Structure 1
Amino acid sequence: MSVPQKVGVLGGGRMGGGIAHAFLLAGSEVVVIDQPHALGAAEAGIRRAVATSVERGTATRSRAELDDGLRVSSDRTVLADRDLVVEAIPEIPELKAATLPEVEALLGADAVLATNTSSLSIDDLAAPLARPERFLGLHFFNPVPVSTLVEVVAGAATDPALVEAAGDWVRALGKTPVTVRDAPGFASSRLGVAIALEAIRMLEQGVASAEDIDAAMVLGYKHATGPLRTTDVVGLDVRLGIAEYLHAQLGERFEPPALLREMVAAGKLGRKTGEGFFVWDRDQP
């Protein structure tokens, strides 16, 4: 099993940087595309992650080889020679819908275009594409370097052979693929959001503290982290956006609690702002 040789990642934020890091370690040549003002931070973050992997002995190539395998640019036309492009821009339906056809138009006929969406419909995003059979979802999890799961999401038009190949790519990254058909929230987001929203309602109603709600899931159900701490890591704003989408698609059981809306409005977004359901040190894992 091997990954595509030439990979592009559109978006150099936390998710995009993590995806780029994963493909670099697996042997791909990676170009990351982002806005000019964000390129410096994106490149520095990926190179730090690469250095950490080398120091920990989890990289099979040298630091120099890995560094040489990474490019960053604000010019999307450099994606033209890519075998695979993973879109990892913000989870805004209109933005993704506008961006994906523009990127597809730059690619060769055999290239694969993937979206890292955590909940948006693959079929809806594929609708304006010229080659929907070469499009699918690759839902990586945050933080990408330590997460072992990737959802491979097949749209109605996705070539079944591509779904199988994508599963092999995920395994080559050292991760485990879970294949799902296109449905609101797929498998992981739908289940994860349902648990998180109920945990927030319990906190809102004074059933238990955030610490005790999370401890119940960690100790009782063997979750690695509790739903409230996980929401802090994902970002309360991100969680709210997914909940609103699922609410519109699946009904009242996904209605966001008032507490979640209030915290997002107050700028308490979780780890990235230093406060959510817990108080965070910015360097805290």
Structure 2
Amino acid sequence: MEIKKIAILGSGRLGRGIAENAATKGYDVTLFTQGAGSQNAPHRIEQSLNRKVAKWAMTETQKRVILNRINYTADLKELKNADLVIEATIDHFYTKQELLRTADRLCRPEVVFILTSATLPVYEVARGLTRSNLLVGARFIPPVVDVDAVELSYSPDTDKNAIEIVKRFIARLGKQAVRVHESSGLVNPRTLVTLINEAAYLLDEGTASADAIETIVKESWGMDQGPFEMADRMGIDIILDWMEQLQKRYGDRYKPAPIIYRLVRQGRLGVKTKQGFFSWNEDGQRADKPGHGQEEN
């Protein structure tokens, strides 16, 4: 079956990134917008494309063509038209499973599902689906349009043809599917939260300011974003959820630093609330000057 129409369940940072990437490569995309912040999805995607236009990476006409390939809806009945379904919602087991069960009833029986979970193995989520053998794990790494590696995982019962369909889709997006054995957290999420958590402990202990830690980590390893910017862009509440799930699986090496809890309790969740480790404006850019991030907590 030729894949032409992509359905993406979830319009957060991950879902938007996959939508933009897929539309750029010629797919027709339906992005299902449900939950807090979903109304900003069209604006956020257009902002991302505007940055490419500003850098002469694409023309205004090309941007409009890409935007016209993305349809936004909250009506799950639209899933009946999908050739491939990508789940990109928050990492809560029952939320994902119930949404996929609904999609299972509405989609054609041959349609393959992609699970993008950072912490939940494919075999756990597949239980209860009539097409459990057509669920393939593909962990896209934000910012999706810039990161070429995708963590590919699947259970022993996963249909081989389904795996090949997902591999071809990933390749058409211009990315490399890297096989990872099923485990909670895979590779990127576990290493990411470890870096963020250790940086947060350093900040809590008063070893250095947020900007000092950010600068040292970025300059040491040639990174575009340091641990605090990554946390703010991902959402500190999401990072905390990952840490707590990993702590249950692997023990206290993933125990969240106190400042992570404090920021979430205060509603300082990062870019989406304009306050986190740093301050952010409407365009997702630093609103505070270096040296004015969270220094004393």
Using the size of structure 2 for normalisation, the TM-score is 0.85
Bigger mean CA deviation after superposition, 269-278 or 190-199: 269-278
Contact 2:141 / 2:188 at 8 angstroms: preserved in 1?
no
Q: 1:38–1:228: structure 2 CA closer, same or farther, 3 Å change rule? A: closer
Partner residue, 2:93 = 93
Bigger mean CA deviation after superposition, 249-258 or 72-81: 72-81
SS at match of 1:232: helix
Matched, 1:28 2:10: no
SS at match of 2:119: coil
Q: 1:276–1:65: structure 2 CA closer, same or farther, 3 Å change rule? A: closer
Bigger mean CA deviation after superposition, 41-50 or 196-205: 41-50
How large is the Cα RMSD of the aligned pairs?
2.6
What's the CA shift string for 1:43-92, capped at 9, x where partnerless? 34445545655674447984554344222222212111211111122222
- Distance apart, 1:144 and its partner CA: 2.4
Q: 1:205–1:44: structure 2 CA closer, same or farther, 3 Å change rule? A: closer
Q: 1:205–1:97: structure 2 CA closer, same or farther, 3 Å change rule? A: same
Q: 1:49–1:4: structure 2 CA closer, same or farther, 3 Å change rule? A: farther
What's the CA shift string for 1:93-144, capped at 9, x where partnerless? 2211211111112112221111222222221111111112211122222232
Partner residue, 1:207 = 207
Q: 1:52–1:200: structure 2 CA closer, same or farther, 3 Å change rule? A: closer
Partner residue, 2:74 = 74
SS at match of 2:113: strand
SS at match of 2:86: strand
Partner residue, 1:156 = 156
Which runs of 5 or more residues in structure 2 are unaligned? 286-297
Matched, 1:18 2:17: yes
Q: 1:60–1:107: structure 2 CA closer, same or farther, 3 Å change rule? A: farther
Contact 2:6 / 2:27 at 8 angstroms: preserved in 1?
yes
Cα distance in 2 for residues equivalent to 1:60 and 1:119: 38
Q: 1:67–1:214: structure 2 CA closer, same or farther, 3 Å change rule? A: closer
Partner residue, 2:252 = 252
Cα distance in 1 for residues equivalent to 2:66 and 2:38: 18
Cα distance in 2 for residues equivalent to 1:146 and 1:88: 17
Contact 1:137 / 1:153 at 8 angstroms: preserved in 2?
yes
- Distance apart, 1:205 and its partner CA: 1.2
Q: Which amino acid aligns with 1:74?
A: A
Contact 2:33 / 2:39 at 8 angstroms: preserved in 1?
no
Residues 233-252 of structure 1 aligned to structure 2 (within 5 Å) = 233-252=233-252
SS at match of 2:232: helix
Which runs of 5 or more residues in structure 1 are unaligned? none
Q: 1:51–1:274: structure 2 CA closer, same or farther, 3 Å change rule? A: closer
- Distance apart, 1:6 and its partner CA: 1.1
Residues 1-285 of structure 1 aligned to structure 2 (within 5 Å) = 4-35=3-34, 40-50=39-49, 53=52, 56-58=56-58, 62-63=62-63, 65-285=65-285
Bigger mean CA deviation after superposition, 210-219 or 200-209: 210-219
- Distance apart, 1:147 and its partner CA: 2.9
- Distance apart, 1:39 and its partner CA: 6.4
Percent identity among equivalent residues?
27
Q: 1:283–1:189: structure 2 CA closer, same or farther, 3 Å change rule? A: same
Cα distance in 1 for residues equivalent to 2:276 and 2:39: 28
Using the size of structure 1 for normalisation, the TM-score is 0.88
Cα distance in 2 for residues equivalent to 1:212 and 1:235: 21
Cα distance in 1 for residues equivalent to 2:92 and 2:241: 9
- Distance apart, 1:185 and its partner CA: 0.3
Q: 1:129–1:121: structure 2 CA closer, same or farther, 3 Å change rule? A: same
SS at match of 1:186: coil
- Distance apart, 1:36 and its partner CA: 9.2
Q: 1:9–1:198: structure 2 CA closer, same or farther, 3 Å change rule? A: same
What's the CA shift string for 1:14-41, capped at 9, x where partnerless? 3222211111111111112223997653
Aligned residues between the structures: 283
SS at match of 1:105: helix
